[in-house]
């Protein structure tokens, strides 16, 4: 019988985790959101408040709806509060060691039917799943930034993910108003495998002073109808995240399209990570 999802956990309340928590709460689900400590929790809660205030200002939510949405998200620093969750979505930083540890703990805390999902964009879901006693109930649920806006969820099935788990997660993604696609466990899945070759090429063109950042971005916005140019998009994604994704894909496929442009590494070393540090290819207030 198909699973009922009423309480969903989110581990990690950074840009992606807080966006995912918002999507879940908007669909009327009870969300248990977990962060490492009170400072990170307050920052995550701040992301949610900021994003819902923006929706309020744009008339997408009223005061009451915003209050109800925020009330549906219970913030905690204890993973054990996920004991009743039907599904847990992990969205912590891209470290296999950290994720393995969280999944091993979730495996002990949650009920045996609970699905454990990772929002990883560059690690192997199979390698994460083997740190649990239920790799058949481990999947990828890869959201896109900004999660409240973008409709895609890549549902990643490993060679051992049970078919009913994939079917239930796909149905759940539809319930969230998203469009799921199902893909096997390979670096970059579908969207990043196609997108990042293009983004990397744009960095190379910029590095070779082929064109200005504004002209590179304008060409793709006005010539191809993309909502953002590639350098502005890299600032949104975060240059460190982009580098990780490229590097992982390059090591897996050896496709030179994915060999990270040297400028990316230099900008990361200099602390220019994009919007999150106030400066990347562009400068932000
Ligand atoms: N949170 C919530 N809502 C947001 C938002 C955010 N961070 N940013 C924008 N929005 C909402 C706005 O409130 C607005 O909503 P309404 O239309 O309902 O009023 C809508 O999105 C459009 O926003 P704006 O008018 O401010 O600006 P825009 O039209 O330029 O859209 C954008 C902004 C949604 C970011 C758009 O430019 C876009 O889609 N850019 C491409 C983003 C993209 O490609 N993301 C994928 C990155 S790859 C990835 O995420 C995978 C990975 O593994 C790294």
User: Of the ranges 114-118, 196-200, 247-251, which one carries the lowest mean pLDDT score?
Assistant: 247-251
Identify whether residues 133 and 32 lie together within a single domain. Answer: yes
Q: Classify residue 282: in a domain, yes or no.
A: no
145 lines ligand 1 (CB under 6 A): yes
Choose the residue to mutate in 125, 149, 224, 249 for probing ligand 1, maximizing ligand atoms within 8 Å of C-beta.
149
For residue 144, give the ligand 1 atom closest to its CA: 50
Identify whether residues 165 and 232 lie together within a single domain. Answer: no
Our CA dihedral for 96, 102, 104, 107, rounded to 10 degrees, sits at -130
- Tell me the average pLDDT across 232-242: 96
CB 276 within 8 A of CB 210: no
- Tell me the ipTM for this assembly: 0.93
Identify whether residues 254 and 116 lie together within a single domain. Answer: no
Rounded to an integer, what distance in angstroms lies between the CA atom of residue 151 and that of residue 144? 8
- Tell me the average pLDDT across 138-150: 97
Domain range for 200 is: 191-277
Q: Classify residue 45: in a domain, yes or no.
A: yes
pLDDT tens-digit readout, 36-77: 999 999 999 999 999 999 999 999 999 999 999 999 999 999
- Tell me the average pLDDT across 235-246: 95
> At residue 2, does pLDDT exceed 90?
no
Q: What is the pTM of this model?
A: 0.95
Identify whether residues 97 and 46 lie together within a single domain. Answer: yes
Identify whether residues 89 and 165 lie together within a single domain. Answer: yes
233 lines ligand 1 (CB under 6 A): yes
Active site residue 258: no
DSSP letter assigned to residue 77: S
Beta partners for residue 8, in sequence order: 31, 87
User: Which residue has its alpha carbon closest to ligand 1 atom 18?
Assistant: 60
pLDDT tens-digit readout, 4-34: 899 999 999 999 999 999 999 999 999 999 9
Q: Classify residue 50: in a domain, yes or no.
A: yes
From the candidates 30, 142, 200, 258, which is the catalytic residue?
A: 142
User: Which residue has its alpha carbon closest to ligand 1 atom 27?
Assistant: 227
> At residue 285, does pLDDT exceed 90?
no
Identify whether residues 141 and 204 lie together within a single domain. Answer: no
Residue 148 Cα to ligand 1 middle (Å): 8
At residue 253, the pLDDT reads 87
CATH of the domain at 234: 1.10.1040.10
Which is nearest to 213 in space by CA: 281, 124, 259?
281
Identify whether residues 16 and 127 lie together within a single domain. Answer: yes
Instruction: Specify the number of domains making up the chain.
Output: 2
What is the layout of strands, in order, in the sheet containing 138-143? 73-76, 30-34, 7-11, 87-90, 115-118, 138-143, 152-157, 179-184
At residue 268, the pLDDT reads 98
Displacement of CA 57 from its chain's centroid (Å): 25
For 156, list phi and psi in degrees, rounded to 5: -100, 120
User: Which residue has its alpha carbon closest to ligand 1 atom 53?
Assistant: 121
At residue 90, the pLDDT reads 98
174 lines ligand 1 (CB under 6 A): no
Residue 144 Cα to ligand 1 middle (Å): 10
Q: Classify residue 33: in a domain, yes or no.
A: yes
Active site residue 78: no
* Residue bearing tokens 């703990």: 105
Identify whether residues 27 and 164 lie together within a single domain. Answer: yes
Rounded to an integer, what distance in angstroms lies between the CA atom of residue 145 and that of residue 59? 22
CA atoms within 13 A on the CB side of 87: 25
Three-state DSSP class for residue 180: strand
pLDDT tens-digit readout, 85-137: 999 999 999 999 999 999 999 999 999 999 999 999 989 999 999 999 999 99
> At residue 138, does pLDDT exceed 90?
yes
Identify whether residues 145 and 113 lie together within a single domain. Answer: yes
From the candidates 118, 154, 200, 258, which is the catalytic residue?
A: 154
At residue 244, the pLDDT reads 92
At residue 122, the pLDDT reads 86
H or E element, residue 17:
helix 15-26
Active site residue 47: no
From the candidates 131, 192, 244, 258, which is the catalytic residue?
A: 192
Active site residue 121: yes
Identify whether residues 11 and 151 lie together within a single domain. Answer: yes
Identify whether residues 133 and 41 lie together within a single domain. Answer: yes
93 lines ligand 1 (CB under 6 A): no
At residue 37, the pLDDT reads 95
């Amino acid at each position: 019988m198909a699973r009922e999802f009423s309480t969903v956990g989110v581990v990690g309340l950074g840009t992606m985790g807080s966006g995912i928590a918002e999507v879940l709460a908007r669909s009327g689900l009870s969300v248990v959101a977990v962060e490492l400590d009170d400072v990170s929790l307050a920052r995550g809660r701040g992301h949610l408040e900021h994003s819902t205030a923006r929706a309020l200002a744009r008339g997408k939510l009223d005061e009451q709806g915003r209050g109800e949405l925020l009330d549906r998200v219970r913030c905690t620093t204890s993973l054990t509060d996920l004991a009743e969750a039907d599904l847990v979505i992990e969205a912590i930083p891209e470290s296999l060691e950290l994720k393995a540890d969280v999944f091993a703990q979730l495996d002990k805390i949650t009920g045996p039917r609970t699905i454990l999902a990772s929002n990883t964009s560059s690690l192997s879901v199979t390698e994460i799943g083997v740190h649990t006693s239920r790799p058949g109930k481990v999947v990828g649920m890869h959201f896109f930034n900004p999660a409240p806006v973008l409709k895609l969820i890549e549902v990643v099935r490993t060679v051992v993910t049970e078919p009913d788990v994939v079917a239930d997660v796909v149905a759940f993604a539809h319930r969230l108003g998203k469009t799921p696609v199902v893909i096997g466990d390979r670096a970059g899945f579908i969207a990043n495998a196609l997108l990042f070759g293009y983004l990397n090429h744009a960095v190379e063109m910029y590095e070779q002073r082929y064109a200005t950042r504004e002209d590179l971005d304008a060409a793709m916005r006005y010539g191809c109808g993309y909502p953002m140019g590639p350098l502005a998009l890299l600032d949104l994604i975060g240059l460190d995240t982009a580098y990780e994704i490229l590097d992982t894909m390059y090591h897996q496929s050896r496709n030179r399209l994915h060999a990270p442009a040297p400028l990316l590494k230099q900008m990361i070393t200099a602390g220019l990570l994009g919007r999150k540090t106030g400066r990347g290819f562009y400068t932000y207030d």
